[in-house]
Amino acid sequence: MKITILGAGAFGKAIDKILTDNHHETSFYDPLVFPEQSLEAAAHNSVAVVIAIPSHILPDFLLDYPARLKKLPTILTSKGLFDLDLFQDFPQFSVLSGPAFAEEILANKATTMTASSAFAMGIFQNQQISIELCHDALGILLCGALKNIYAIGAGYYSESEDNFANFLQNAHLETKQYLADHGAQADTAELSCGLGDLILTCTSQRSRNFLCGRLLREGRSLTEIQQELPTIEGLNALTRADYEPYPLLRSIRDLVQA
């Protein structure tokens, strides 16, 4: 089947690799990478759409999104959103998330991801990519946003072994509480989209969020860090998070604003 991928960045290309490995035909829509390709042309004859564009530009992008495409099975792989409001009129919407860096997928490293629909599970699962099925789309979404915030704190505390272990435990527990408080299932945080992605993002030097926290620890200003690391998803997510009832989120907010 033909599947259109919205976004031809690193993760969009990783998505393309998985789908083509599974013998699907793919097309990209990304005006920055393929300026000659319109959305209508990219989606011609497509039977599904995968969204892999940065979450902070999704609200504006979807303002003029064609009604015809909204009816297609649509799988969100972008991380950073805190609700499903943008997709209320997408009748076949689902979420795919998990501990996977684009370069690792492209290098054929195996991983387990979480999908909220059997359709997403069916088109992505193969020998490299294992898929857990979990119908809690909101919980999967929230885990993907929260782990980037916690990774900033992890980078800050990573040099202290005792504090770091305590930090990771509290981040996991706070994620479960956040999900329960916001209408999702707390146990979703135990899956690969939750605990697995949290551990990967909070312990890897390849995570820009982790590096942001480490540079803050070294005394670098946030302005300097953003010039060096232009896309720090956790900073965008922090502006949307409901942090007041959650001590760890609040401490990271204070850390960034210091």
End-to-end CA distance of the chain: 50
User: DSSP class of residue 85?
Assistant: G
Q: Quick count: other Cβ atoms within 10 Å of Cβ 155? A: 28
Q: Judge contact between 158 and 164, C-beta under 8 A.
A: yes
Write out the two tokens for 242: 């409901």
- Residue 147: active-site member: yes
Q: Which residue has the tokens 């991380």?
A: 79
| Number of Cβ within a 10 Å radius of residue 30 | 18
Decide: 153 and 147 in contact? Cβ < 8 Å: no
Other beta carbons within 10 angstroms of residue 231's beta carbon come to 12
Q: Which is catalytic among the residues 13, 17, 79, 147?
A: 147
CA pair distance 139, 141, nearest whole angstrom:
5
Q: Tokens for 38?
A: 């319109």
Q: Which residues are catalytic?
A: 147
